[in-house]
Amino acid sequence: MKYELEEQDKYTIITLKQEKVDSSIAPDIKSKLVKMHAEGVGNLVIDLADVKYMDSSGLSALLVGNRLFTEDGGDFILCNISDHVMKLINISQLDKVLSIVQNKEEAVDLVYMNELEREFKKENPDGE
């Protein structure tokens, strides 16, 4: 699996450098997401700009990542999604489950907004 990592204080961006995300590569993606979660990455942005094709096994890998990161109160955000991949996500009705934004800048903004909201809730548990 080819990818680039950009690690920041509040988030990590993984840019998949693959045109096809299918059953031949999905297990590697799942393993990488599980490992990153275990290493303490709290918020993950997945940049899919280079991905032109994805099948159900690729979607399954993304769903594993979404579950891992969001169950621990973090963010799992997808960005730069091609029309083909977005069509698959829509047909699967996963657009209601996954956090999807247009680009990396929007993803980073969403991470910071959600981090502020989580901090506020910690400081004001009664919503005051």
* Domains of the chain, each with CATH number or no CATH: 3-123 (3.30.750.24)
Average of pLDDT values for 31-56?
Answer: 97
Give backbone dihedrals phi and psi of 56, rounded to 5 degrees, phi first: -65, -30
What integer pLDDT is reported at residue 29 of this predicted model? 97
The pTM of the full predicted model, rounded to 2 decimals, is: 0.93
Q: Is the Cα dihedral 116, 120, 122, 126 positive or negative?
A: negative
H helices, E strands: number in the chain? 4, 7
Element (H, E) at 123: helix 104-123
Percent of the chain scoring above 70 in pLDDT: 98
Percent of the chain scoring above 90 in pLDDT: 93
Show the CA angle centred on residue 86, arms to residues 11 and 17, nearest 5°: 55
Q: Does residue 87 have a pLDDT over 70?
A: yes
